[in-house]
């Protein structure tokens, strides 16, 4: 009788020796992309496969999840689940997600296909391939979930066009393209480790819990369904970093430089997520400051302490993030609010209850500095002079966020750093971004900077922000601008009223 | 309080995303397949050149010589997005699982004599390495190809080939009471037996192809298109006649998958060839080139598997490929 096999043993046997040492082609010709970064791998067999999933098991688990997920999405659509939201303002968060984050899922799919081809170690290749197909899942399930919102609300319909063009979507796009155009080792360090392992909770927790809390069944469902995939991806992230560090001591400074870079780049990107948490969720889950405290200052820092035995220290400029945590989202919202004519989502001044929540969460600096500013904006709006800044912002050459954050030690002074390469000056938003630029200037001089493209006439010859919006296929004051008085708000109120008038509701 | 939302009538403002409506209009909603693949790949404004391939943009249509007006035309006739693909594979997996149990419980392979068992180990099991190369090659197609419809299906093909390699491994384990000795034997012949070396050399060469559509033709149309009919059809029949009918049951997944994925492969080749005479000419060159190489490489294996009928059997399989290519608008010399 055949002996019974455990899962781990079964995996080992089923993938046993599938790869081989080529005889007819040089190994470097089969795998041309995994050596130029300087990472030394002495023994690929030391790679411990983090997933140990055979395809038959993978299909079985994933199909079960997909069946449940699509059953819920079907019901959500049939039952007009969108009417259960806390408020239509919430959808600004979902719009930002579809425009800015769903494309990252797709980018991850392609990036991991590249890594899943590039590594000469078979175990690492399979792990990356599995993540590649998972990320395709995430991109598609999100599209399928959001597609229903597109039928009833603005700002969703033109996401594919905006994804490649809009100034604020250059922030996530340049982030991921930076990773994808790096070598495969840096790619997995940036995405699997820095982003998915270290920072993922900051993305996931507010978004998925926020969705649940605000009655968004569609997002909640794919979000929770993706969580078991994510835990595999996080395992891969930790595995790959430890593997590099254990393989050779020369790898340590390379990995450290990547961690410095990707911590900062990831943190800058998450400023958008923090703003979503603090401002776009009508029902709040947790403030950015609290989330940063728990997920980075406690968990993230503990993880870095674990890596200290390999000679890894905390990423550069982490202390700046700590100094900024009570103002990051307020500064970002001010920017989004004023450039609202070139956004595919709505902005607004928070109501009193929300301002009180912020005062409670953020204390003195918010109450003395940002609250009066918001109240002033509200006053202008009530006078019929809703404030818009219709000039294009100057953006950071690295993270592409408008240069508007303040000095780490002085919230009253704008922080600008000038860097130079090949005789040209560029602006950065911070020392973190300036460091990244200076390490690879010839990479970052290539960056496409949307406001400069507009000035050069490369945005369909747009001469002002409204023509620019039209070039983005944004319908003025429908997709863009102030929430109050927007068609989204009017529809929402009408649907809610109609809803209240129906007898089922009275029951 | 829960509200019965079904009683509320809410008029939609639109049915489709703009980029989908541009293809099919807004009168009826797109299928989940269409929504899941069209326009998904970023189109313009790439920020940095890949450090691993500075001659190209991150997504670049010129990584192949094939020219298309619109790479989003490469729709999969199976309409697979992740959900439908994985659910279909899970169904097949379930049925394959039953087959494994059945063969094991009934001892269906016990009737096979030793000579045939050796043939099975030396001719069929090494194909797990060929499938492994199929996995790697489809990873290339997904990574460096252009347009989400084709590259997403290539990602599925990549995982499917890994599945094929693993199912073959499992058959090898079953033959040896879950011991890996037959897998090790198969690897040894793959690495050292003279009859396998031409195919191994060709497979290694395929892994260096830079043009992803050439790689698509070489791997998915020619290598799989010759190997699968020769082994999982012709040789399987011989094996069945010799008392190894149980083996077909172990390969049900592989056989069904090959038939199904061929529909996809055919649709891609046919569309690319129909797009322009230049495309068709290139595909003819690639197919002829790889066909000659693989047919030659399979000759010693056919002789081993079919004895004096080897040449004729291989010729039959080759004729099958020629006929298949002709249906796709790819005219090969007979
Ligand atoms: Fe994901
Ligand atoms: Fe992930
Ligand atoms: Zn910056």
The verdict on residue A36 lying in a domain is no
Return residues 143-172 of A near B (CB < 8 Å).
143-144, 147, 150-153, 156-161, 163-165, 170
Using the structure block, give the residue that is written with the tokens 């099975």: B120
The verdict on residue A504 lying in a domain is no
Size of interface A-B (CB pairs under 8 A): 278
Q: Give the pLDDT confidence score for residue B7 in this predicted structure.
A: 56
Instruction: Retrieve residue A381's tokens.
Output: 């709006």
Q: Separation of A233 CA from ligand 1 center, angstroms?
A: 8
The verdict on residue A38 lying in a domain is no
Return per-residue pLDDT of chain B as tens, 334 residues: 344 555 567 889 999 999 999 999 999 999 999 999 999 999 999 999 999 999 999 999 999 999 999 999 999 999 999 999 999 999 999 999 999 999 989 888 888 889 999 999 999 999 999 999 999 999 999 999 999 999 999 999 999 999 999 999 999 999 998 889 999 999 999 999 999 999 999 999 999 999 999 999 999 999 999 999 999 999 999 999 998 888 999 999 999 999 999 999 999 999 999 999 999 999 999 999 999 999 999 999 999 999 999 999 999 999 999 999 999 999 999 8
**Residue B201 with chain A: CB contacts under 8 Å:** 23-24
Q: Separation of B57 CA from ligand 1 center, angstroms?
A: 24
Instruction: Retrieve residue B203's tokens.
Output: 């497979």
CATH of the domain at A186: 1.10.620.20
DSSP string, A256-306: HHHHHHHHHHHHHHHHHHHHIIIII-SS----HHHHIIIIIIIIIHHHHHH
> B107: alpha, beta or left, given left = phi > 0 and alpha = psi -120 to 50?
left
CA end-to-end distance (rounded Å), chain B: 73
Q: Give the pLDDT confidence score for residue A277 in this predicted structure.
A: 94
CA-based max dimension of chain A: 85
ipTM of the complex: 0.97
A114-136: per-residue pLDDT in tens? 999 999 999 999 999 999 999 99
Q: How many domains does chain A have?
A: 1
Instruction: Retrieve residue B15's tokens.
Output: 């049915």
Q: What are phi and psi of A4, to 5 degrees?
A: -75, 140
CA-based max dimension of chain B: 79
**Residue B167 with chain A: CB contacts under 8 Å:** 56
Q: Give the pLDDT confidence score for residue A502 in this predicted structure.
A: 60
Instruction: Retrieve residue A3's tokens.
Output: 């002996």
Contact B131, B161 (CB under 8 A): yes
Residue B326 distance to chain A (closest CA, Å): 32
Interchain pair B18, A103: CB under 8 A: no
B15-49: per-residue pLDDT in tens? 999 999 999 999 999 999 999 999 999 999 999 99
Q: Separation of A270 CA from ligand 2 center, angstroms?
A: 16
Rounded-to-integer distance, Cα A318 and Cα A322, Å = 7
Q: Separation of A257 CA from ligand 2 center, angstroms?
A: 23
DSSP string, B164-226: HHHHHHHHHHHHTTT-THHHHHHHHHHHH-GGGHHHHHHHHHHTT--SHHHHHIIIIIIIHHH
Q: Give the pLDDT confidence score for residue A204 in this predicted structure.
A: 80
Under 8 Å CB-to-CB from B314, ≥6 apart: which residues? B230, B295, B298, B299, B302
Interchain pair A66, B177: CB under 8 A: no
Interchain pair A446, B49: CB under 8 A: yes
pLDDT mean over A440-463: 93
What are the residues facing A424 on neighbouring strands? A421
Residue A178 distance to chain B (closest CA, Å): 7
Instruction: Retrieve residue B258's tokens.
Output: 């090959």
Rounded-to-integer distance, Cα A180 and Cα A116, Å = 13
**Among A175, A448, A495, residue whose Cα is nearest residue B7:** A495
User: Which of B40, B50, B55 to probe the A interface (max A CBs under 10 A)?
Assistant: B40
pLDDT surpassing 80 at residue A283:
yes
Q: Give the pLDDT confidence score for residue A505 in this predicted structure.
A: 43
Contact A208, A219 (CB under 8 A): yes
A433-445: per-residue pLDDT in tens? 999 999 999 999 9
Instruction: Retrieve residue A169's tokens.
Output: 């979507």
Distance, CA of A473 to chain centre: 23
Contact A191, A138 (CB under 8 A): no
Instruction: Retrieve residue B93's tokens.
Output: 């997996």
**Among A104, A391, A480, residue whose Cα is nearest residue A269:** A104
Q: Separation of A354 CA from ligand 1 center, angstroms?
A: 31
A355-410: per-residue pLDDT in tens? 999 999 999 999 999 999 999 999 999 999 999 999 888 999 999 999 999 999 99
The verdict on residue A27 lying in a domain is no
Rounded-to-integer distance, Cα A440 and Cα A186, Å = 13
- Nearest bound ligand to the CA of residue A106: 1
**Residue A4 with chain B: CB contacts under 8 Å:** 178
The verdict on residue A24 lying in a domain is no
**E strand or H helix at B323:** helix B310-327
Contact A277, A206 (CB under 8 A): yes
Contact A430, A271 (CB under 8 A): no
Residue A357 belongs to what domain range? 46-494
Q: Give the pLDDT confidence score for residue B6 in this predicted structure.
A: 52
**Residue B98 with chain A: CB contacts under 8 Å:** none
Of B17, B48, B139, the CB nearest to A160: B17
The verdict on residue A17 lying in a domain is no
Q: Give the pLDDT confidence score for residue A113 in this predicted structure.
A: 98
B175-184 long-range contacts (CB < 8 A, ≥24 apart) are B175/B109, B175/B117, B175/B120, B175/B121, B177/A1, B177/A2, B177/A3, B178/A2, B178/A3, B178/A4, B178/A5, B178/A13, B179/A3, B180/A13, B180/A16, B182/B121, B182/B125, B183/A13, B183/A16, B183/A17, B183/B125, B183/B128, B184/A16, B184/A17
Distance, CA of B37 to chain centre: 19
Domains and CATH numbers, chain B: 67-327 (1.10.620.20)
Q: Give the pLDDT confidence score for residue A499 in this predicted structure.
A: 74
**Among A262, A295, A296, A289, residue whose Cα is nearest residue A275:** A289
Q: Give the pLDDT confidence score for residue A506 in this predicted structure.
A: 39
Instruction: Retrieve residue A256's tokens.
Output: 């450290």
The verdict on residue A2 lying in a domain is no
The verdict on residue A293 lying in a domain is yes
**Among B132, B112, B82, B84, residue whose Cα is nearest residue B250:** B112
**E strand or H helix at A348:** none
Instruction: Retrieve residue A403's tokens.
Output: 């240069």
**Residue A179 with chain B: CB contacts under 8 Å:** none
Q: Give the pLDDT confidence score for residue A507 in this predicted structure.
A: 35
Q: Give the pLDDT confidence score for residue A317 in this predicted structure.
A: 98
Contact A405, A438 (CB under 8 A): no
User: CA-CA distances (angstroms) from residue A395 to A144, A365, A403, A453, B260?
Assistant: 33, 25, 5, 12, 50
- Nearest bound ligand to the CA of residue A197: 2
* A490 at B interface, C-beta within 8 A: no
**E strand or H helix at B229:** none
- Nearest bound ligand to the CA of residue A193: 2
Considering chain A, what is the average pLDDT of its residues?
A: 94
- Nearest bound ligand to the CA of residue A230: 2
Rounded-to-integer distance, Cα A365 and Cα A293, Å = 17
Return residues 48-67 of A near B (CB < 8 Å).
54-56, 58-60, 62-64, 66-67
In this prediction the pTM is 0.97
> A245: alpha, beta or left, given left = phi > 0 and alpha = psi -120 to 50?
alpha
């Amino acid at each position: 009788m055949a002996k019974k096999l455990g899962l781990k043993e079964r995996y080992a046997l089923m993938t046993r020796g599938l790869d081989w040492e080529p005889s007819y082609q040089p190994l470097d010709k089969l795998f041309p992309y995994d050596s130029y970064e300087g990472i030394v791998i002495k023994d690929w067999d030391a790679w411990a496969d983090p997933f140990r999933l055979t395809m038959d098991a993978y299909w079985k688990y994933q199909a079960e999840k997909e069946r449940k997920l699509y059953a819920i999405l079907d019901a959500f659509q049939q039952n007009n689940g969108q009417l259960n939201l806390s408020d239509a303002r919430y959808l600004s968060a979902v719009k930002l997600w579809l425009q800015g984050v769903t494309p990252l899922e797709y980018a991850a799919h392609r990036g991991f296909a590249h890594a899943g081809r590039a590594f000469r170690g078979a175990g690492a290749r399979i792990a990356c391939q599995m993540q590649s197909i998972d990320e395709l899942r995430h991109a598609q399930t999100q599209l399928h979930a959001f597609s229903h919102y597109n039928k009833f609300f603005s700002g969703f319909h033109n996401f594919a066009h905006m994804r490649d063009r809009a100034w604020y979507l250059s922030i996530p796009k340049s982030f991921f393209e930076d990773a994808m155009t790096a070598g495969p080792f840096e790619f997995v360090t940036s995405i699997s480790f820095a982003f998915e392992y270290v920072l993922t909770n900051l993305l996931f927790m507010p978004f998925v819990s926020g969705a649940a809390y605000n009655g968004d069944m569609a997002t909640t469902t794919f979000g929770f369904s993706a969580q078991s995939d994510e835990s595999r991806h996080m395992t891969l992230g930790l595995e790959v970093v430890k593997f590099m560090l254990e393989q050779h001591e020369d790898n340590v400074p390379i990995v450290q430089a990547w961690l410095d870079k990707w911590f900062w780049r990831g943190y800058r990107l998450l400023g958008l997520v923090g703003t979503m948490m603090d401002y776009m969720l009508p029902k709040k889950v947790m403030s950015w400051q609290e989330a940063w405290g728990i997920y980075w200052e406690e968990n993230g820092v503990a993880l870095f302490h674990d890596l200290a035995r390999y000679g890894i220290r905390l990423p550069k400029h982490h202390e700046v993030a700590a100094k900024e945590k009570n103002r990051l989202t307020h500064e970002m919202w001010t920017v989004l609010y004023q450039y609202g004519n070139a956004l595919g989502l709505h902005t607004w001044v928070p109501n009193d209850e929300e301002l009180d929540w912020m005062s409670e969460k953020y204390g003195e600096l918010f109450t003395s500095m940002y609250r009066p500013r918001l109240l002033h904006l509200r006053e202008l709006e009530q006078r019929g002079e809703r404030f818009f800044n219709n000039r294009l912002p100057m953006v950071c050459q690295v993270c592409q966020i408008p240069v508007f954050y303040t000095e780490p030690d002085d919230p009253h002074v704008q922080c600008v750093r000038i860097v130079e390469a090949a005789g040209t000056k560029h602006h950065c938003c911070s020392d973190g971004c300036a460091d990244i630029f200076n390490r690879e200037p010839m990479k970052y001089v290539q960056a496409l900077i949307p406001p400069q493209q507009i000035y050069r006439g490369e945005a369909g010859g747009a001469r002002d922000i409204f023509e620019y919006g039209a070039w983005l296929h944004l319908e003025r004051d429908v997709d863009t601008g102030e929430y109050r008085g927007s068609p989204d708000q009017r529809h929402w109120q009408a649907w809610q009223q109609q809803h209240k008038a129906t007898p089922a509701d009275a029951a | 309080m829960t509200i019965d939302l079904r009683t509320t009538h809410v008029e939609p403002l639109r049915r489709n995303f703009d980029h989908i409506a541009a293809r099919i209009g807004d009168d009826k909603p797109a299928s989940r397949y269409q929504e899941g693949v069209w326009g998904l790949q970023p189109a313009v404004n790439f920020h940095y050149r890949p450090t691993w391939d500075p001659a190209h943009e991150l997504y670049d249509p010129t990584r192949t010589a094939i020219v298309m007006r619109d790479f989003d035309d490469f729709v999969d006739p199976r309409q697979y997005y992740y959900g439908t693909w994985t659910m279909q594979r899970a169904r097949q997996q379930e049925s394959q699982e039953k087959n494994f149990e059945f063969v094991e419980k009934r001892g269906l392979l016990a009737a096979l004599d030793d000579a045939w068992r050796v043939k099975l180990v030396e001719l069929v099991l090494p194909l797990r390495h060929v499938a492994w190369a199929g996995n790697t090659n489809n990873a290339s197609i997904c990574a460096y190809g252009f347009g989400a419809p084709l590259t997403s299906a290539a990602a599925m093909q990549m995982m499917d080939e890994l599945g094929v390699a693993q199912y073959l491994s499992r058959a090898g384990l079953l033959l040896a009471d879950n011991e890996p000795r037959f897998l090790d034997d198969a690897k040894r012949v793959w690495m050292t037996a003279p009859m396998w070396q031409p195919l191994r050399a060709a497979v290694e060469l395929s892994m260096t192809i830079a043009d992803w559509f050439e790689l698509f033709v070489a791997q998915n149309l020619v290598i799989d298109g010759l190997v699968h009919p020769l082994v999982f059809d012709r040789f399987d029949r011989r094996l069945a006649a010799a008392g190894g009918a149980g083996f077909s049951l172990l390969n049900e997944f592989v056989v069904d998958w090959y038939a199904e994925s061929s529909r996809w492969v055919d649709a891609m080749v046919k569309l690319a060839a129909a797009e322009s005479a230049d495309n068709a000419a290139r595909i003819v060159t690639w197919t002829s080139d790889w066909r000659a190489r693989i047919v030659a490489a399979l000759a010693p294996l056919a002789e081993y598997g079919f004895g004096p009928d080897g040449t004729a059997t291989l010729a039959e399989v080759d004729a099958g490929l020629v006929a298949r290519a002709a249906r796709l608008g790819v005219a090969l010399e007979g």
